[in-house]
Structure 1
């Protein structure tokens, strides 16, 4: 009874603390930023936009997109109960200002790093300042090496030849329905674990149970993402303090994730120490970091960050591309035509050099990510008061969010046909690839799916390599046919995915 009453007292104290902190923040926000624009959601004293937020909780992305499309500056201000003032923008000039021009004033900030801190620790995606700079330099060196590039392609070749293609052939022969989203996620997890950890979890072997690490990683990612989407921002902190519900599940999942990764690190360290003659022949990122002498916990957090970034982002992009191609069969045939041309109808090998020649495949991937970006939004927190290029005032501590999902749907950025899957928009000549065009340079601040500026994604080229390789291998041999004609629902967690999966039939391509 005493413990129960203590929990009630703690919960009530946290509620009062959060409530009065919110009032102080609102007063400070109002006094420090002057007037807000008139294009945000309806806002009320104390509760902010809680009513509108709750009404639109099942369509948050489209709700924000609607608000932004009606704003002359493609920027809106949002007040949420328990959270600092939030500025959401789809304006490329603002994005460039945040991510490049005044980069130092827009770190991720404590409110963001708290949300993902339990999962990512002090990994590169969840830190600022000197700690970020140090990890960035280390990772930048490793990602730029030719040996890692070659290792990635070799890993892709092994995983596709020995697991993915046989699995699809079996499905085609037995008329079996597959969840292609799940298949691609398993494939990506196997691949990123081989590249990052030098281990093979064998997720793509459907005859084996899903490894506990994968389930725990999924659970931890989903619960961490839901923290930022709760109607009342601070509610997750109360649940964590009381070890209740989803926060208890998160704690259990993290214990398994961190423990499993640390065990892999220690085993790898032991192998490297025992095999001193061949230790420098290891190509995975974990071996490279351990040989460089980095601390165990730092390595753990960096590896977890790499796994999260490398797994769900590429599988998400490919899942949506295969669905879009099922709706635009002419574009799919143009991909096959390009593949046959680049590979000279099978005379040339699919390697790093031939992958670079696949311009139309890359255009299709970019167009898919424009409409369905793997990361729907990303936030920073202002270190000092500021003013965005469009005139929006920013207060110290305000959350400033740029919104790739909404940006891909702005008529001002992509024209009246923004809703069409049109890879030709990525070429510098009318007619796209058939018109002899080259891929044009599109500002990363207009298309920030890989971030931009100093924090631009180090794995961008590796991601395109993986996606182009998989798309090429699948489309040259198979037809992917969705079993349902309904438009899928895009669900934004840490990375966007297709609600309910992507159920397909696989057919062997004739000739």
Structure 2
């Protein structure tokens, strides 16, 4: 171990450690070389290492930066409730999102959350179901031409649906990316996120002076301008419309964020609104899309589960074409169990990073020194056999049918900085699946069969995604 490393971290590393070779100066950084699929495999390997250790935790060095990885829910809850400061790694997301809610320092986060929280209050979220169903029916129409035509990737259809939904529910604007394959904002947003994810886990790209010399930086600047110009224009037009109609707009089209922000403390500035819109676009689009796509993929592989879900939908909704209501969705108990089990196996945000500004004692007796970087492995907690049993890697929705949610289930994080829009995400996922499953049956893609011996190929791309594009086949139920 290098002599210049702080002794408090060296002692904790000797207590926790990992199974990888340590190299002078760079520490364990060489183990993180690879593409996004390699990175996800590395993170999963770290989590499994943690299961086998006394404290359900590991430690590692990326150069001179010390990290502790936690795979136990009780320890994770202590960290997430006590440590609200984001890890330094979020500076790279600030390039696009600034001080948006998910990434903001604690002082800024408090005010931002206070303003934004009413947008996701149950009395408003219930009104969004109609918007979700409307946009999901566009997916139904687009998939009609794919019935019986072989393999298709769900990702593009669902991600476009989700972005249309978040823009209309939160900002009252339908940007209609589902009908515009070359929509500049959508394509720029996807590309920029992909490059941010690549930079997050590669320490040699953390040096700004070096990064700015690379061709990818020029592309990032180009796509960022497209994104910012589009959102700024959206905000200005929306503000003008609200002022023209004297605030009636919020009631007319369910747009809330801009209107509500005027009523608490000081209104969002243009820059703040842009940051929050982009964070919501990220969280609302990718979180919902990942949840929907993984569920469709698993249902295609488990036909018995899919038919049980469809039977429940028929029992609750029959063959009625009446618009979906939130109370209908709440009756779909097995559907919720299927979604929860999917989110357990494939949490959209597999890792959460925090920074300790003071010493923190964990339930195991381990003390995280001030200055520690902590990574909560949501994937690890959800796959820890100590909490889920030896069938932890099996897809078994019945484990959620008791109605009691284990504390080892935290797909939307935990504590004060948990996902403010988790109810929104669950309603979006449920509404979309109901709308699609009433019309279609999803079957395994040709040459894509998954089981314990042949698991899904996963990648770390800000969210956790499927390398093979969530590929399935579509059959009509009619």
Superposition TM-score, scaled by structure 2 size: 0.90
1:441-456 matched pairs, under 5 angstroms: 441-443=405-407, 446-456=408-418
1:372-451 matched pairs, under 5 angstroms: 372-428=346-402, 439-443=403-407, 446-451=408-413
Q: Does 1:94 align with 2:68?
A: no
Say which is worse superposed, 271-280 or 361-370, in terms of deviation. Answer: 271-280
Contact 2:120 2:423 in 1 (8 A): no
Q: 1:507 to 1:221 in 2, by over 3 A?
A: same
Q: Does 1:73 align with 2:55?
A: yes
**Inter-partner Cα distance in structure 2 for 1:375 and 1:57:** 14
Match of 1:499 among 458, 467, 475: 467
Per the alignment, in what secondary structure is the counterpart of residue 210 of structure 1? coil
**Inter-partner Cα distance in structure 2 for 1:374 and 1:468:** 16
Q: 1:266 to 1:349 in 2, by over 3 A?
A: closer
Contact 2:28 2:62 in 1 (8 A): yes
- Cα distance, 1:347 vs structure 2: 7.7
1:109-508 matched pairs, under 5 angstroms: 109=87, 111-144=88-121, 146-150=123-127, 152-161=128-137, 163-172=138-147, 175=149, 177-205=151-179, 208-230=180-202, 232=203, 235-240=206-211, 242-276=212-246, 278-281=248-251, 282-289=253-260, 291-292=262-263, 293-346=267-320, 349-428=323-402, 439-443=403-407, 446-481=408-443, 482-487=445-450, 488-508=456-476
- Aligned residue number for residue 108 of structure 1: 86
Q: With CA pairs under 8 Å and 6+ residues apart, which has the higher RCO, 1 or 2? A: 2
Structure 1 gaps of 5+ residues are 1-21, 429-438
- Cα distance, 1:38 vs structure 2: 4.2
- Cα distance, 1:148 vs structure 2: 4.4
Contact 2:133 2:432 in 1 (8 A): no
> What RMSD in Å do the two structures reach over aligned CA positions?
2.4
**Inter-partner Cα distance in structure 2 for 1:132 and 1:385:** 22
Per the alignment, in what secondary structure is the counterpart of residue 396 of structure 1? coil
Contact 2:345 2:379 in 1 (8 A): yes
- Cα distance, 1:273 vs structure 2: 2.1
Contact 1:81 1:233 in 2 (8 A): no
Residues 461-500 of structure 1: CA deviation (Å, up to 9, x unaligned): 1111111111111112211122332444111111111113
Q: 1:395 to 1:279 in 2, by over 3 A?
A: same
Based on CA coordinates, which of the two structures has the bigger radius of gyration? 1
Q: 1:508 to 1:198 in 2, by over 3 A?
A: same
Q: 1:441 to 1:60 in 2, by over 3 A?
A: same
Contact 1:484 1:503 in 2 (8 A): no
Contact 2:125 2:423 in 1 (8 A): no
- Cα distance, 1:261 vs structure 2: 0.7
**Inter-partner Cα distance in structure 1 for 2:55 and 2:376:** 13
- Aligned residue number for residue 8 of structure 1: none
Residues 308-353 of structure 1: CA deviation (Å, up to 9, x unaligned): 0000111111111111112211111110111111114438652111
Q: Does 1:63 align with 2:35?
A: no
Contact 1:39 1:70 in 2 (8 A): no
Contact 2:358 2:369 in 1 (8 A): yes
Superposition TM-score, scaled by structure 1 size: 0.85
Q: Does 1:47 align with 2:9?
A: no
Q: 1:147 to 1:27 in 2, by over 3 A?
A: closer
Q: 1:235 to 1:347 in 2, by over 3 A?
A: closer
Structure with greater helix percent: 1
- Cα distance, 1:23 vs structure 2: 6.8
Residues 372-429 of structure 1: CA deviation (Å, up to 9, x unaligned): 110110100110123322233322221101111122221111101011100011122x
Residues 188-220 of structure 1: CA deviation (Å, up to 9, x unaligned): 111111112222222222xx3321111111122
- Aligned residue number for residue 432 of structure 1: none
Contact 2:117 2:420 in 1 (8 A): yes
**Inter-partner Cα distance in structure 2 for 1:25 and 1:91:** 31
- Aligned residue number for residue 453 of structure 2: none
